[in-house]
Structures are given as C-alpha cells and as structure tokens.
Amino acid sequence: MNPDPTPWDRSIPDADLLRRFDIAGPRYTSYPTADRFHAGIDAERHGETLALRAFGPAATQPLSVYVHIPFCESVCYYCACNKVVTRHHERAAAYVDALETEIALVHRRLGVRALVSQLHFGGGTPTFLADRELSMLMALLHRHFRLAADAEISIEVDPRTIDVARLRHLRTLGFNRLSFGVQDFDPDVQRAVHREQSLESVTALVGASRDLGFRSINVDLIHGLPRQTPASFARTIDQVAALRPDRIALYGYAHLPHRFKPQRRIDTAALPPASDKLRMLAGAIAGFIARGYSYIGMDHFALADDPLAIAKREGRLHRNFQGYSTQPDCDLVALGVSAISKVGASFAQNVKTLPEYYAALRGGRLPVERGLTLDQDDLVRRDAIMALMCQGRLEFDPIERSHGIVAAEYFAPELERLRQLSADGLVTVDSSGVQVTPMGWFFVRAVAMVFDRYLKAADRTATAIAMPGAHGSAGSVEAPVRFSRIL
C-alpha cells in the first residue's frame, strides 16, 4: 500500500462529491466520541480507575496531563469551546484554588507522583491567568507530578493577551511549546468574528518566542469564517507561511447558532459557500506544501523536519484530544471544568459549569459527571479509525493479531459500504486492507465514520455516506465535544 497519500497534487473534488459528502462528522480526537458518554461513569468510578492504574502495566508509563482554563476576556463569535467570558480577573484565583484541590484528589487516587511526558494548558484562554497564578499552578503540578526532562509543555496563547515579558515568564516556568490562536489575518474577517489582532503584533510575538528558545510554535487557523474568500484566505496562508511556525492547525468552521450562542452574532449571509470553503482548504494545502510544510492529515501541517512530520513518515503518528501528536497513546489525566480524562479503557469528563465544579470539590469529590468504558468492539474500532485518521490506511494483519479477529469477516458490513466510497475514488480496498486515496484525504472522516458503530446504531451517517444529497452540520471543536463538517 502507498504509505503517504498526498492530496495536494490532485484537483479538488467536483460539485457532486461536495454535495454528497457535505455531512456532519466527528474529528475523531477520540473513539468513541464524547457525545457517547453517559452518567454511569461518576466520581467514584473514575477514582477506582485511577487507583487501579498503579497495579497495571501502565503504572510505569508516563502520563499526559491537560489543564482547562475556561476564562476569556471577550467572546469570539465562532467559538464553540467551554468558556466563561469575563473581564474580572480576580475570578481566576478561586479557580486556581479549586484546581489545587482537584490535583490533590487525583494524586491521592494515583498513589504516586506519576511521571508526565506531556503537559498542555488549553481553554478558553490560559493566558487569562496572571503570571503569579500561572506560577502557582505550575508549582502545584510539580508538587504532585514528575515532569520528564524532555516533556512537551505547551500552552494556548491569545496574542491579544500577551507581550514579550509574559512570554519570558512562560519560558521561565518551563513551557517549551506555544500555540497562537490567529484564525485569520484579514481585518474584515477579524471584525466579523470579534477577534482583531494585527499581523505585526503576531509577527513580533513569534520572533520573540524564537529568541526565548521555545522549542515549537503552532498557529491555529479557521477556514469558512464570515467574509472569507478563497483570495483573502490565500493572503492569510502566505502571511502565516512567512512566519514559519513549526506547525499549523487548520480547522473548518461549522455554523451551529442553535447550539452555541456566540455564533448567533455571525451574519449567516456573510458565510462562504461550501464550494469556496473547499477551495480554501485545497489552496491552504497547496500553499503550505509549496512552502516546505508536510501535510500531516485532515487539519495539521508541520515543517518537514518537525517531529510530527517525521512521525507521519515513519508511521508513528497518534491522535488525541489535542489533535495529531508524536506522543504514544498513553493515559491522560485532565483537570478543570469540562476536561476529559482517558485512563486505560475508560473516559471520564468533568462537570461543565463552575458552580458544579466548585461544589464537587468543596465536597471532597472528583468533579466527574459522565464518561464511558470501552468494550472489546470499541477497542477494535478505535484501532481501525485511528489507523485511517493517522496513517491513511487500515492494514488487516496487525489488527487481526492484536484483537484475534478475521478482519474481512468482522468488518464485512463496513467493507460493503466502502464500495460506494471506492467507486467515488476515496479509498481502495484489497485483501490486505483499506487505503485512503489522495482525493480521499479531503473526506477522511467520512471513511472513518463507516467504522463507527454508534453512528450506525443511530441509523444516520452510514446511510448519509452512501446516499447523495445528505447534509448536516456540527460544532468545530471536540474538547469536551469536537465536531466539524467533513470539509
């Protein structure tokens, strides 16, 4: 099988493919996706899962830790994240106190000062916290966990909330990776989504970050925003490429004003048509590749010598709640409101509001409200979906050896449904497995969705994929629940 399908050297899908595959689809930062969680996983159950980790093979393996900071000074109209919009920075002190309690509860259940190879601060806006509060939080984490000498320590940064002095403080605290939320540099688009920041300010921050020795810089972009055009977004692509970030994440905006209140402020008439959105994606892929970036898959790009690009070439790519990663699939302890942990074969999600979060911790309880324990079929399908999402291929032999199945029999219904995708030129199927074609990379989630039993059980997507004219929409982020349109 071809190990490295490359969609950028092909023409974009035609109007018929666009029409038939403009459907709702998960980003598969996890499988099963977080919308399948239920209340059967509570604080007690999650506590037991954490405690059992000490007696299994994972006890000697490093953890990944995620910290969710929900606060933002102002609302971005496209946002579907779990956030609290406020200019009252004093609210952060109470939140850090609550995090201290949760960290201590988790540490008590784990029973050890576990080794951490990956630490990520997300939000919201993590840089909403003052320098003193960030210092306190990092001290708490160091007290209860052992950060590996080569740990990836990253933080999401709103360029409007930071300057060089704050960047220097982050570096002093041990952060070695930054992710700048840019979305688009066009002033009209920025005004339409209520997020105005200049190219000059971001350029200065990126330069300062390099001078301070940050190991990796990522830039987040969104295509499909109001007032964007293929031409205007091409300018943003040129401007971002000139900054030479090590990595770029390009997400597709999905308009769901009935679910996400800030999106109601977006002028629907200003949204680009689906055909323009696809041209933006195709243009971004071509533009970044021409400037020396490797297309990692779906929404990620990296410079050719970046560890992410190397992992893609060597077949070591993984996917977690932060997207594509070089980190092996390891247990994830997530802290803060709405955060999702993955320990062993179990997911556990914290409560989604600050009052609930504070109340649980005051009562000495882990703030978990729901989750899921994977069964054997979930484990098989997770491996299949992640293979497609990360490597663009599902090889039957490894999955048969890992799970004791005969793939052609186990996936017989899925292979039958893949016939239509094969006829459309999105996949090739033979006795050794399933390969996503260059054209198929535009719709890789549609391929993965064929193997999602929860979508089949709902009798939605399996039919939609095979039938012309199916449409849908969903939100653009997947932590706690991230969805976006196939395109």
If one compares 132 and 325, the residue with the highest pLDDT of the two is 132
Contact 181, 121 (CB under 8 A): no
Give the span between the Cα atoms of 20 and 18, in whole angstroms: 6
Q: Name 115's Cβ contacts closer than 8 Å, sequence gap at least 6.
A: 62, 63, 145, 146, 148
Domain 36-335 sits in CATH at 3.80.30.20
Mean pLDDT of 52-60: 85
Contact 128, 71 (CB under 8 A): yes
Check whether 186 has a pLDDT greater than 80.
Answer: yes
Check whether 2 has a pLDDT greater than 70.
Answer: no
At residue 4 the predicted structure's pLDDT band, cuts being 50, 70 and 90, is very low
pLDDT at res. 484: 35
Check whether 9 has a pLDDT greater than 70.
Answer: no
pLDDT at res. 391: 87
Mean pLDDT of 379-386: 96
pLDDT at res. 483: 30
Class of domain 19-23+375-485: mainly alpha
DSSP state of 104: H
Q: Is 291 left (phi over 0), alpha (psi -120 to 50) or beta?
A: alpha
pLDDT at res. 319: 85
Give the span between the Cα atoms of 161 and 192, in whole angstroms: 20
pLDDT at res. 443: 84
pTM for the whole structure: 0.88
At residue 14 the predicted structure's pLDDT band, cuts being 50, 70 and 90, is low
Give the least confident one: 104-108, 264-268, 482-486: 482-486
pLDDT at res. 12: 59
Percent of the chain's residues with pLDDT above 90:
72
Provide the residue ranges of all domains of the chain, joining segments of one domain with +. 19-23+375-485, 36-335
Buried/exposed 400-416: b ≥16 CB within 10 Å, e otherwise: eeebebebeebbeebbe
At residue 6 the predicted structure's pLDDT band, cuts being 50, 70 and 90, is very low
Ligand-binding annotation for 247, yes or no, is: no
Ligand-binding annotation for 183, yes or no, is: yes
In 3D space, the residue among 98, 165, 166 whose CA is nearest the CA of residue 128 turns out to be 166
Mean pLDDT of 461-469: 31
CA distances to 1, 337, 338 from 356, rounded to whole Å, are 50, 9, 10
Ligand-binding annotation for 330, yes or no, is: no
pLDDT at res. 136: 97
pLDDT at res. 487: 37
If one compares 116 and 391, the residue with the highest pLDDT of the two is 116
On average, the pLDDT of the chain sits at 88
Ligand-binding annotation for 365, yes or no, is: no
Ligand-binding annotation for 125, yes or no, is: yes
Check whether 471 has a pLDDT greater than 70.
Answer: no
Give the span between the Cα atoms of 90 and 99, in whole angstroms: 15
Ligand-binding annotation for 79, yes or no, is: yes
Ligand-binding annotation for 470, yes or no, is: no
If one compares 56 and 486, the residue with the highest pLDDT of the two is 56
At residue 404 the predicted structure's pLDDT band, cuts being 50, 70 and 90, is very high
Q: Which two tokens stand for residue 231?
A: 């031409």
Q: Which two tokens stand for residue 99?
A: 């995090």
Contact 123, 66 (CB under 8 A): no
Ligand-binding annotation for 220, yes or no, is: yes
What are the tens digits of pLDDT across the range 280-302? 988 898 899 999 999 887 788 99
pLDDT at res. 448: 94
Ligand-binding annotation for 66, yes or no, is: yes
Helices (H), 337-375: 354-362
At residue 477 the predicted structure's pLDDT band, cuts being 50, 70 and 90, is very low
